[in-house]
Amino acid sequence: MQISTFTHGAVDAIRNIGDFASDLVEPTVRLGVTGLARSGKTVFITALVHNLMAGARMPFFDTMAHGRMLRAYLEPQPDDQVPRFDYERHMADLTATPPRWPDSTRRISQLRLAIEYEPQKFWKRQLGYNRLNIDIVDYPGEWLLDLPLLTLDYLHWSHQALKQSRAPSRKVAAKNWHTALAEIDPAAPADETVAQRLADLFKAYLRDARADSHALSTLPPGRFLMPGDLEGSPALTFAPLDAKGETNFPKISLWAMMARRYEAYKTHVVRPFFRDHFARLDRQIVLIDVLAALNGYKPAVADLERAMTEILECFRTGANSLWSSLFAPRIDRIVFAATKADHLHHSNHDRLEAILAALTEDAMGRAHYAGAAVKALALAAIRATREGTARRNGEALPCIVGYPLPGETIGRRYFDGSEAFAIFPGDLPANPETALRRPHAQPDDVRFVGFRPPNPVPLPSSGFAPFPNIRLDRALQALIGDRLK
Ligand SMILES: Nc1nc2c(ncn2[C@@H]2O[C@H](COP(=O)(O)OP(=O)(O)OP(=O)(O)O)[C@@H](O)[C@H]2O)c(=O)[nH]1
Ligand SMILES: [Mg+2]
């Protein structure tokens, strides 16, 4: 174990030296956009690229605010073997009539944005303009859940997966799998048909658990839900088994076969993904859909907190962490963002930030220790609502106005997507602990509906005006502002 860790670390270190050398020629920032499924990664990346290319007004992004931004454009991405981020297609969705959100991401993709800017210092300006590349990877959020698997062996993963599947919120979805499992003797000789059947039932359970409208974070292995290139591959033919207190299984047993496949999944699928796309990050933004969790009931918040803590624990920089033992980390700036802040009136943004801070307190504290600059903010990469005031019983209520997505409901009201509505989403509690630990959502609590994207504004020349947003400029400043001086 020690030896293999060392060997992997050495290989990664050599890669990093290569990156460092190419960085000297062409300064590059590798920006990690991290987040669970549906947290807003693809929308964030698309909005960031479009708003930089379209020269959006960004008062809190120094380079733009001080007029030093010359131009931004997409370049061929550095890794030929990774597909390109389909920026044009996502833009086509967002600027369609009516506009729609991009589809959920099914495979990995990458993009490189080049920024040309005027240096701040007079003497540097005499040498001409500077250029900074920003490399970003987009991937299905489900895959992020595999990161904690790197620290779990098959026995512990099986134990954990079984425990999670027995939770009241998942028991029903797991029924068929549990029934089959009860008849299995893990010490019996390995049998491919049995392995296949258990893997199928386990996958069906994961899918059903995800389909539960209250579930926010899904359960690993991520490729079971979003296989990408591994669709139909035998690499995914394994499932947890019930060890029933036993720890020693014969080499020819079903248990041993499943354990080997689980380890192979980690070695050949999980590890390379994180090594190739996360290990070399310079900066990271962690997107968290806090509002969706608050919209659900208590297990949703607990579920989100658990998933994020597990993931962020792995990302922890500094000595003796999984991250530093696997890869040589160098992330020196981290932004935590509560996404979709346009679901709230701006008077509530501070409260949303306070809830985000409470939710990620541990992880943020640790990252800080390791010398990384950390910032938490409420953000909407694309603002789908505007603010207004509604009158109810003579009282003026701050509300938001937007097009609720077809199928959304509030109370008895059903929305078909064709009309704009003024909605009073409610106030978040002033004390973040109340939001996170309340026993059950009350009927009068905050209630959020999804909105379709705002109507695109075509420009007279060509293309579209930058997307309205909330605090995208602050996020950019915190992430890359210092690299554009
Ligand atoms: N109102 C609003 N909704 C947003 C915003 N960003 C994302 N959304 C909503 O959240 C959904 C998910 O956003 P994506 O960017 O696709 O999320 P993702 O993290 O890429 O998800 P996966 O690809 O499934 O991992 C979108 O379809 C929108 O409904 C935002 O800034 N404002
Ligand atoms: Mg996506």
Q: Is 38 in the pocket of ligand 1 (CB under 6 A)?
A: yes
CA of 253 to the centre of ligand 1 (A): 44
Helix or strand (DSSP H, E) at 267: none
Pairing mode, strands 28-35 and 283-288:
parallel
Confidence of residue 12 (pLDDT cuts 50, 70, 90): very low
Helix or strand (DSSP H, E) at 252: none
User: CA 384 to CA 380: how far, in whole Å?
Assistant: 8
Q: Is 35 in the pocket of ligand 1 (CB under 6 A)?
A: yes
Asked if 384 and 470 touch (Cβ cutoff 8 Å), the reply is no
Residue 295 scores a pLDDT above 70: yes
Instruction: Give 159's contacts (C-beta < 8 A, 6+ positions apart).
Output: 240, 243
User: CA 94 to CA 273: how far, in whole Å?
Assistant: 29
The pLDDT, as a whole number, for residue 6 is: 38
Question: Nearest residue CA, atom 4 of ligand 1?
Answer: 340
Residue 188 scores a pLDDT above 60: yes
Give the position, in ligand 1's atom list, of the atom nearest the Cα of 140.
25
Region 241-258 average pLDDT? 94
- Among 44, 89, 101, say which to mutate for ligand 1: greatest number of ligand atoms within 8 Å of CB: 101
Q: Is 51 in the pocket of ligand 1 (CB under 6 A)?
A: no
Ligand in nearest proximity to the CA of 403: 1
Residue 195 Cα distances to 179, 184, 201, 212, 254, angstroms: 15, 10, 10, 26, 8
Q: What is the largest CA-CA distance in the chain?
A: 77
Question: Nearest residue CA, atom 21 of ligand 1?
Answer: 38
- Among 42, 93, 111, say which to mutate for ligand 1: greatest number of ligand atoms within 8 Å of CB: 42
The helix/strand/coil state of 391 is: strand
Give the position, in ligand 1's atom list, of the atom nearest the Cα of 106.
23
User: CA 258 to CA 243: how far, in whole Å?
Assistant: 12
- Among 36, 108, 340, 379, say which to mutate for ligand 1: greatest number of ligand atoms within 8 Å of CB: 340
| Residue among 82, 70, 84, 476 nearest 283 (CA) | 476
Region 66-89 average pLDDT? 93
Ligand in nearest proximity to the CA of 142: 1
The pLDDT, as a whole number, for residue 1 is: 33
Query: What percent of the chain shows pLDDT beyond 70?
Result: 86
User: CA 312 to CA 331: how far, in whole Å?
Assistant: 13
CA of 378 to the centre of ligand 1 (A): 15
User: CA 367 to CA 270: how far, in whole Å?
Assistant: 23
Chain mean pLDDT for the chain: 86
Asked if 332 and 78 touch (Cβ cutoff 8 Å), the reply is no
Residue 24 scores a pLDDT above 70: no
